[in-house]
Amino acid sequence: MGNLVLAFYCKMLTDTEIDGIALDRRTSFTPEYWNAAIGDERHFKLVLDAKQPPDYRLLYDSWLWRNVIKHIKPLSPETAVLELLPGNSLTIPIALESLSFKGTLVRLNDETPVSLPATIGFSEYWQAGQITDLLTAPLPYDFILANHVIDDLLFNLYFPSPEQREVIYSDSRACKSAWNSMSQSSCITQLQKQAIEMLLALASHMRSLSVLILRHYPSTFALRSHDMARITLEMETYFEFAGRCPRVS
């Protein structure tokens, strides 16, 4: 089994706390703080070149990933990285480019993920599929990285059709209704267990010196819409998964 790295803080949220987190996310990711406290011009430019108008949350999220990866294991031109279910996220590719990564990034997704900006200089390709497709043989990757995938795992298990998921996610009311329906379903506990077992099985197929890093937090979209069903399901699943993982002293 590979090494598991967890950003793990366990707490269920109240409505007041959800409002506070949503407010912090709207007001905290500013260029002024970046310039005063961090000031990495190259990383800042990578984010500006990647998205317009500027996505300052991407700036900070990718900087966090950059530093986590940097302090865990050195990167080389032979390093192979797998990103799980990136969807429309550029967080991990920007983090790797900021580290002058020269290896290969594989992006696992059942639908075509967002295209990477021209400033990305490393080799990358899309592997169509889901996590279950990886569980047939030992995995050759040095890093397996996942930024906020627990809710996607649950949603994909409950709604297997990519077309159906796209329709639901395109309508905020339909999305909230879908998560509420999931929370009341008799099968949801089994789906949560299935998602956890899937991640544990993934780790068991990794090489002994490879690293799996999962980062999870309440969905920003769910915070904005006060979707307590979604927040509860995704965080319950993450906390349960974290509790099943071996502790690193």
Cβ count within 10 A of residue 240: 14
Top mean pLDDT of 56-60, 85-89, 94-98 is at 94-98
Neighbouring residues of 14: CB distance < 8 A, sequence distance ≥ 6 = none
Residue 111 has pLDDT above 50, yes or no: yes
pLDDT in tens, 25-66: 666 678 888 888 898 999 999 999 999 898 888 999 999 999
Is there a domain that residue 110 lies in? yes
Instruction: For residues 110-120, give the mean pLDDT.
Output: 94
d(CA 177, CA 180): 5
To which H or E segment does residue 32 belong?
helix 31-33
The pLDDT score that the predictor gives to residue 115 is 95
Cβ count within 10 A of residue 14: 10
To which H or E segment does residue 147 belong?
strand 143-147
The pLDDT score that the predictor gives to residue 1 is 53
Q: Give residue 192's identity as a one-letter amino acid code.
A: Q
Range of the domain at 211: 3-244
Q: How many domains does the chain have?
A: 1
Residue 133 has pLDDT above 70, yes or no: yes
- Please report, for the domain that includes residue 48, its CATH number: 3.40.50
CB 206 within 8 A of CB 134: no
The pLDDT score that the predictor gives to residue 27 is 66
Residue 4 has pLDDT above 80, yes or no: no
Is there a domain that residue 249 lies in? no
The pLDDT score that the predictor gives to residue 6 is 46
The CA radius of gyration of the chain, in Å to the nearest whole number, is 18
How is residue 103 written in tokens? 């290896």
Predicted model pTM: 0.88
